A and B are shown apart, each in its own frame.
Chain A
């Protein structure tokens, strides 16, 4: 075996990884226009940021990596046998067959059997929910009122949460996370990378969706009363009435804010500001619903208020395929290995494949777990669909490019294409096989996991 000086130097630096990584992340925050790291829109600032990154590159050559894979699943066209992906300054600089894409001198070369885009968990609560499951690390659900769309995920996310590190070690590089299902409107979700010293470092999209729940857990009041002094709904009819009333109030608020004379404008209200963005279709509503009638309610609500929605969970979506298809609504499907009890009792391992065949946009999520496992791993959940009707490529798409499209971040992540973020997952075999390991995870061009997970 032959080792280059660069490889040896890199190994030495890995030993110092923690301190070094921290230092580096801080230097980015200090030196760069933050928008570059933060937002998808700022990706257009790529060329102007290039010089800054070039100077960083001198300080940290580890940002320059070439990944060689026996199979490179680009998720943008055909799989490349014996491929190479050249990463430069946090972006993909070149990709192709290794015979055709030269690896620049001085680059660290990492090899793997299988290379995929960094995986996207299309819906999680990780970072708001923590590993210990104690009140101090559980911020995914505020129980004080049933409708609180003003709650930002940004203000609650812990980028150093162990669960973030855990999912990253299986190749997950992007998380759509935030306020979980459980209240009628539980708050906002956002999108982060699974690396970064602060939430701002990790940020991709500050406000991704407004999370609503039309399932059992949001019906905490019973039909004769409520455990929140009448605030929480106890029935399906009440849930829909409360949602409709708030959206109608928001329409009134919007009209008055826009039309009224300055001195007659209603006071700004964070709740209605947030719902207004949904009514203006600036962001979708993520509606968690499992039973067929709750899915029907979600579609009806979307039609009445002309909302852009994403169906979430959707255990009985296999019974509602024509309706979902006709509404043109995407589905972020429950974890495949979710427990088949309660509202999930009719779930099927084959739902993903059925939605796929119908042409319904589909992504797979890790969901929320109240006990153990404290988070599921979306790689595993997609793998089970690959054994139950989805092809390998389809299952992989459910946690890469298709998830990116549903979340509106496909210009940046989800496939291996020149100019996209250098987020990669490396495996020593078929990623879905139980006995395969994730050997390397790369986020924004930096190695964030190495070993045999």
Chain B
């Protein structure tokens, strides 16, 4: 991430903030810590420095470094920031209506970082998001992975990979959402045929590039859509695939096998009917938990039990908000309803954190409290799966981005006049001396 000159100036004017981000280590002491990787700590200490986790463990075995700021979080619960594998906050404008397959369109170019949804997301404890275009296309564009670290433009919140490229996947869909009037397909077979045709083009494009062996004269004309699909074929870009009905799920598995792409199945209303097949294919699932089945035919057999059924079958499970379908402030609730319907608590906690991180290829950076990982965490008033629990604070890369005690943040946590307006993006405490 690069800070713009503007931001540096602003933060200097504010007497700190971004440019000065966390100079001294911080020790969060006394909380019940759910590190997700590793066992629960009854009363623990988390040490954070320079945006990273330095140490985590029981209070009596983790020394507090000299000069560290000690923050007492006794009686609270502390766990990793939540990873949402499927969100639409900030806008869903990648592909347009011109064709059903548009791998060239980037969500990156479409996001309004002032959308109040971002403020609600940190109020819900979310720190990493996969922001996706919608599901009305067979392929609606490139998704973008973001960190809710605060910023003034999309550049400030985007996650970049080790090569400095924008991190993200490809959004695909099958079933009824992407079956529309021309030029969209009308049937499932046509849907699959169009997708296969496009991936075969991408294979040929890839092969031409390989054959050119660096000779510019022999290179095919650049095609930014096919470039993105070559990344998919090479496993560098993950397919995030909207799919509901059991036979549509199986179709995704079949296409994934044919073209060798890595895929995460999203929503999966009927995954409970084909859980063994999904587990056998080793394909992870990102589940939507809504309060009732239906709304369309292919979701009429949606069940609360899906997460637990997939877990028992041995498939990797995450939940997602699909915000605005579910408000980001109720992300914990989705996994809690999974527990209600038979998922293990351990599995449900992973489904909000490390499992989602792994589905975004970010498992080495976020999703658990381990030394070396980003200091992304939430402080909760109680058990993560209780209706009475509130997110008290959200921290991203060692910086507080939400504080329920701050009236400006509280507005987004509970709502009220002005909570729906576009807002300067979530520098919760940027005007405070201690930040």
Give the B-binding residues of A (Cβ under 8 A): 130-134, 162-163, 166, 316, 318-319, 337, 339-341, 344-350, 369, 371-377, 380, 383-384, 386-388, 432-437
Contact = CB atoms under 8 A, between A and B. Distances in A.
Nearest to A383: B387
A348 B415 contact: yes
Given A383-B387, A386-B387, A434-B337, A372 B295 contact: yes
A339 B294 contact: no
B388 interface: yes
A371 B295 contact: yes
Nearest to A430: B387
Interface stretch (B150-158, B232-240, B351-359, B417-425): B417-425
A101 B405 CA distance: 49
The listed residue with most A CB atoms (<10 A of its CB), out of B293, B327, B336, B389, is: B293
A346 B294 contact: no
Contact of A372 (B290, B390, B421): B290
Interface stretch (B193-201, B249-257, B296-304, B361-369): B296-304
Interface in B314-369: 324-325, 327, 330, 333, 336-337, 339-340
Given A387-B388, A434-B387, A348 B416 contact: yes
Given A166-B292, A374-B293, A337 B330 contact: yes
Contacts of B386: 433-434
A277 to B, nearest CB: 33
A194 to B, nearest CB: 14
A388 B414 contact: yes
Interface of B: 116, 120, 290-297, 299-300, 324-325, 327, 330, 333, 336-337, 339-340, 385-390, 414-421
Given A345-B420, A349-B414, A435-B385, A163 B390 contact: no
The list of the 3 closest CB pairs from A to B, nearest first, reads: A345-B420, A131-B294, A372-B295
B387 A384 contact: yes
B296 A435 contact: no
Contacts of A434: 333, 336-337, 339-340, 385-387
B238 to A, nearest CB: 25
A275 to B, nearest CB: 34
B292 A376 contact: yes
A432 B419 CA distance: 26
Given A386-B388, A434-B386, A132 B294 contact: yes
Contacts of B339: 434-435
Given A373-B290, A387-B389, 5 more contacts: A339-B327, A346-B415, A372-B299, A373-B291, A434-B333
A134 B421 CA distance: 33
A375 B290 CA distance: 10
A350 B416 contact: yes
Nearest to A319: B417
B414 A369 contact: no
B308 to A, nearest CB: 12
B295 A133 contact: yes
Contacts of B417: 316, 318-319, 346
Most chain A Cβ neighbours within 10 Å, of B293, B337, B385, B387: B387
A377 B414 CA distance: 20
A341 B327 CA distance: 11
A377 B387 contact: no
A337 B340 CA distance: 19
Nearest to A162: B294
Nearest to B292: A373
B294 A345 contact: no
A435 B296 CA distance: 27
B419 A346 contact: yes
13 contacts: A132-B294, A162-B293, A318-B416, A318-B417, A340-B419, A345-B421, A371-B295, A372-B292, A374-B295, A387-B387, A387-B390, A434-B333, A437-B340
Nearest to B413: A349
Nearest to B293: A131
B291 A346 contact: no
Nearest to B334: A434
A287 B280 CA distance: 54
B178 to A, nearest CB: 16
B296 A133 contact: yes
Contact of B297 (A134, A319, A369): A134
Nearest to B414: A349
B256 to A, nearest CB: 26
B415 A374 contact: no
Given A337-B330, A340-B420, A348-B419, A436 B340 contact: yes
Contacts of B300: 131-132, 162
Contacts of B387: 383-384, 386-387, 432-434
A340 B415 contact: yes
A293 B325 CA distance: 28
Contacts of B292: 131, 163, 166, 372-377
B291 A380 contact: yes
B415 A372 contact: no
Contacts of B325: 372
B433 to A, nearest CB: 30
Contacts of B324: 339, 341
A259 to B, nearest CB: 49
A134 B296 CA distance: 7
Given A433-B387, A434-B337, A350 B415 contact: yes
- Greatest chain B CB density within 10 A among A348, A350, A433, A434 is at A434
Given A387-B387, A434-B333, A435-B336, A369 B295 contact: yes
Contacts of B337: 434
A288 to B, nearest CB: 19
Contacts of A133: 294-296
Nearest to A370: B295
Contact of A348 (B333, B390, B414, B421): B414
